[in-house]
Amino acid sequence: MSFKPERFLGSKIDVKGQHYELIPFGAGRRMCVGLPLGHRMMHFALGSLLHEFDWELPNGVSPKSINMDESMGATARKRDSLKVCGQVMLMLAPGPLEPPSILEPEGSK
C-alpha cells in the first residue's frame, strides 16, 4: 500500500460531505457542525501567517535538498520535520495601543 496523491488531481471530491467516497466530517444531518467554522479559522490562520511573515529556508538549505519522505500511520506525515525561518514583515507602532475613549473628550488628559 502506498500513498499516490496524483489519483486525486482530477477529482471533484471534497471533504464537505457531498461525496460519499470521502466523508471525514460526516454527511447530511449528521455532519460536523463545526466544519464551516473550522475551514474559516484554518484559512484565516494560514493567511495571517503568510501575510505577516517573510518565510525562507535556513542558511545553506536549498529547496531541492529538502527530504520529502513520508512515514505512514493513521495519516501520512513527513519523516523529517520541515524547518523554516519566519521574519516579521509588518511592524506595528511601538508601545501599547489604547482604544479611543468615548467618555473623555479629546485633549482632556
pLDDT digit string, tens, across residues 41-70: 999 999 989 888 888 888 888 989 888 888
pLDDT at 26 over 90: no
pLDDT digit string, tens, across residues 84-99: 888 887 666 665 656 6
Is 18 or 85 the better-scoring residue by pLDDT?
Answer: 85
Per the CB < 8 A criterion, the answer to whether 3 and 76 are in contact is yes
pTM, two decimal places: 0.52
pLDDT value for 16: 63
* Number of C-beta neighbours around residue 42 at 10 A: 10
Is 38 or 5 the better-scoring residue by pLDDT?
Answer: 38
pLDDT value for 47: 92
CA–CA separation, 64 and 61 (whole Å): 8
pLDDT value for 70: 87
Report the percent of the chain where pLDDT is more than 90.
7
What are the sequence ranges of the domains in the chain?
Answer: 30-59+83-88
pLDDT value for 40: 92
Per the CB < 8 A criterion, the answer to whether 35 and 41 are in contact is no
